[in-house]
Chain A
């Protein structure tokens, strides 16, 4: 079985501040991990994914995430927030790497203030 937990349904940061969105997973085997972003009234867009290999994954828009097996975590970070980063972010896990077996977290809404 697999599950994913996103800590904090809402996160607020100042423009220019560090963004940290937390994601922890539960999996009996090495998982495939994804972060998606959703802007208001739109579909989701892939930010980045971890499959195998390098544990630090770089994505689009300056985001990156680090797979930490010992902590069962895949937190999303960005050094400096921009107003355009305001959106909802979803972490997702798959044991098999196939989309039909993808489990999504409940999402974290990021607010960026001036």
Chain B
């Protein structure tokens, strides 16, 4: 079955360390997205990519970086510059066309201490 795989499900890091979250899709979707979810808040867009080798900042890109070297993969790096990195991170993809729905992975819960 096609879908989006995020790994790992839980991730623990010490403050000051960079950490990379994996996101792989086999839906043949052009567009991919990273969201951050905090308790009591909606999803906030970190970065998105509509095509390979191109990506744009979302609403809260500071302290994060991404790459899109392959259509299937869109890894997110949480850098030490991110002041409050502990959160639930969701990766999504879509066909990129008008009104195309988002398909989500099951998320990675990052805890930084």
Chain A residues close to B by CB (< 8 Å):
4, 9, 32, 34, 36, 41-46, 49, 51, 90, 92, 96-100, 102-107
What's the tally of chain B residues with a CB closer than 8 Å to chain A?
29
When distances are taken between beta carbons in the complex, the residues of chain A under 8 Å from B45 are 100, 102
When distances are taken between beta carbons in the complex, the residues of chain B under 8 Å from A97 are 98-99
Closest 9 CB pairs of A and B: A43-B104, A104-B42, A46-B101, A97-B98, A104-B43, A44-B104, A97-B99, A106-B42, A100-B48
8 Å CB contact of B102 from A4, A42, A102: A102
When distances are taken between beta carbons in the complex, the residues of chain B under 8 Å from A45 are 104
When distances are taken between beta carbons in the complex, the residues of chain B under 8 Å from A49 are 99, 101
8 Å CB contact of B99 from A32, A36, A105: A32
8 Å CB contact of A99 from B4, B41, B92, B109: B92
A100 touches B33 (CB 8 A): yes
Residue contacts A-B, CB under 8 angstroms, 21 given: A41-B9, A41-B106, A42-B106, A43-B4, A43-B106, A43-B107, A44-B43, A44-B92, A44-B104, A51-B99, A97-B98, A99-B33, A99-B92, A99-B96, A99-B100, A100-B50, A100-B58, A104-B44, A105-B42, A107-B40, A107-B41
User: What residue in chain B is nearest A43 (Cβ atoms)?
Assistant: B104
When distances are taken between beta carbons in the complex, the residues of chain A under 8 Å from B92 are 43-44, 99
Q: Smallest Cβ distance from A108 to chain B, in angstroms?
A: 11
B94 touches A99 (CB 8 A): yes
A44 touches B102 (CB 8 A): yes
When distances are taken between beta carbons in the complex, the residues of chain A under 8 Å from B56 are 100
A42 touches B98 (CB 8 A): no
Chain B residues close to A by CB (< 8 Å):
4, 6, 9, 31, 33, 40-45, 48, 50, 56, 58, 90, 92, 94, 96, 98-102, 104-107, 109
A4–B41 alpha-carbon span in the complex (Å): 12
Q: Tell me which of A9, A92, A100, A105 has the highest count of chain B C-beta atoms within 10 A of its own C-beta.
A: A100
Q: Smallest Cβ distance from A50 to chain B, in angstroms?
A: 10
A43 touches B105 (CB 8 A): yes
When distances are taken between beta carbons in the complex, the residues of chain B under 8 Å from A99 are 31, 33, 48, 92, 94, 96, 100, 102
